Amino acid sequence: MLRSSIGDEPRKMDQGDLFSLSVYQDALIYFVQLTDTPFAISLQGSSGSGRTSLMTAMRHHLCAKEDDPYFGIWLSAWQFALLKDSSQTQIGILQGIVNQLASLTKANSSQVARCRALISSVFAVNQNEPQLATTANVEALKNKEPESAHNKAAASAAIPDADLKAVELNWSQAHDHHQPIADDEPINLDNVPNWDAEVAAVENGANSAAINPDREKERAVTLQVPVNDQGTIAVDGSEVHGDITQLRAELSALVEEILSYNPQKRGLLFFLDDFDLLSSELAVDLLVLLKNLVALPHCVLMVAINYDTVVRGLVKKWGLSTDHALPERYFRSFFDRLVQLSFKMPRYSAGIRDFIAHMANEIGIFSEEELMDNEMAQKLYATLEVCVAATTDHNVRKIKNLLNAMSLILITNEMQYATEQVNLNAWDKVLLAAVVGLQFNCPALFNLMANHPDFLHWDEEFAAKEYLPQLNAKTREVLSRQINGELNGWKEVVARVALSHNLPVGQSCQLLSLLDTLARTLVEHYRFGAAEVLGPLFAMAQLTHVKGAALQDMPLSSL
């Protein structure tokens, strides 16, 4: 049945393997079946690269049936973070884990009750709002007149009176000149001036007794995990006091209890999804917390989190700026302590044409008449693949969004000109895919081409009128080598647009490849110029274009 759009749902088990990725999936399944425990795996990949689909497949093959080797525990960190602050999110995830574990053991298990009680002792839990058991809110809870014996117990259990010897490195206080960076800022991992002196200052500070001076510098930097028997842990910039060690022991005992009732199972497989959708600092806090509480014997953790997210979270937590960052080995040391294996999502390239063709047919991009000639259909899909892949970087979610935008544009065009003889032919639709793709890949170039669609005649004079920066010799050499040709005419203008918006080399080359495909398609299949063919397509594509402020709408002071 024909439909108008493609949903953004993980791949179902009854759907075909359009990308020929089953070999990677099967290899990871085999690895997890035989792995030692505890073990943590990070799934590396951009949003839309298929990590949730992979974890769904892993759960289906390893946890769905009674005779499968693992019980599956699934947690979407993003859902737990909705309408909650950092403290509430961490509490909610711990409670969610215990609730799912409770479903695997006997009803009214005393072990489950102990775990739930210990979560309350690690965190100060008011009746209305849970909070981390920081020194400030626990003291407030102690000084408040308790309304019940339960509140008295919570106040006394939340934090011991003894002085806990914990180390917390607060780089924002140690370096007042450091400014936190935004999540989307690039990170400079060059060597830090006077790093030895800075570490020595920390090691010789008030809490120096808690630091083993024989440890590596990485230990001093990454000391954000329990450091004593009472389980003090630094989360969200505050000391959290509670019996973390006991909570870990009780969770381990609960796992053993579950497996004692199900001896055919090897253990538990935790699927922790959407960590990259959280703030980078919260993602790091959660990863540390779960690593210390859930990385237990018989347990495997599979976390959808990128190394870059961990780096950004640590940079912000330590108060580092882009011009004063740590050498990468310190970030890598921290990451390697949390994750034993990183799995990079394969790039969808082998089956991308089949996927695009399948999805395009699902929503009726091409008519049956346009696809009757098999040779013609192959040419259409080959060119469509180039246009879509060049603007989406083979990302499944972006491909779906592009095709959805095309579907709406085509439906609108059909209704708008229902009484007129204005139809788009098959090659018009291929070019429309390239135009819509420019919206996602480079809005600046889309806007420029929408105003000046005759791009084949762009030259130095045009670039000067648009105030585009000149290419230096090194940039020109790199791009020329990447495209195996000279940068001249419209190609140089496109490169200068990319330079003006600081686009990566790879994305710049994709744009050049896309416009080269447009140029060849215009020459081979049209008798009109680029402006006559592309102008109407850019006008149609405005329907789905998210556009920033136009030049004429910007104040002079901002230029």
Reported as a pLDDT band with limits 50, 70 and 90, residue 209 is very low
| pLDDT, tens digit, 9 for 90 and up, residues 510-520 | 999 999 999 99
Environment class of 57 (CB within 10 Å of its CB; exposed 0-12, middle 13-18, buried 19+): buried
Do 310 and 224 contact (CB within 8 A), yes or no? Answer: no
Domain boundaries, the chain: 23-344, 352-552
The average pLDDT across 43-65 equals 89
Side chain identity at 298, as an amino acid letter?
Answer: H
Structure tokens at 424: 């788009």
| Percentages of the chain per state (helix, strand, coil), in multiples of 5 | 55, 10, 35
pLDDT at 149 over 80: no
Q: Mutual orientation of helices 473-483 and 505-525 as an angle, nearest 10°?
A: 50
User: Phi-psi category of 19—alpha, beta or left, where left has phi over 0 and alpha has psi -120 to 50?
Assistant: alpha
pLDDT on residue 405: 92
Reported as a pLDDT band with limits 50, 70 and 90, residue 19 is low
pLDDT on residue 546: 62
Please tell me which of 108-117, 280-289, 313-322 the model is most confident about, judged by mean pLDDT: 280-289
As a three-state string, the secondary structure of 143-164 is: HCCCCCHHHHHHHHHHCCCCCC
pLDDT at 144 over 60: no
| Pairing of the two strands 39-44 and 299-303 | parallel
Do 403 and 365 contact (CB within 8 A), yes or no? Answer: yes
| Strand ranges inside 293-413, DSSP E | 299-303, 341-344
| pLDDT, tens digit, 9 for 90 and up, residues 342-376 | 999 887 655 678 888 888 888 989 988 899 999 99
Sign, CA dihedral 512-517-521-523, equals positive
| Residues in contact with 437: Cβ distance below 8 Å, sequence separation at least 6, in sequence order | 387, 388, 390, 391, 392, 402, 514
| Lowest-pLDDT choice from 29-33, 124-128, 377-381, 393-397 | 124-128
What rounded mean pLDDT belongs to the chain?
77
Helix (H) or strand (E) holding 235: strand 233-235
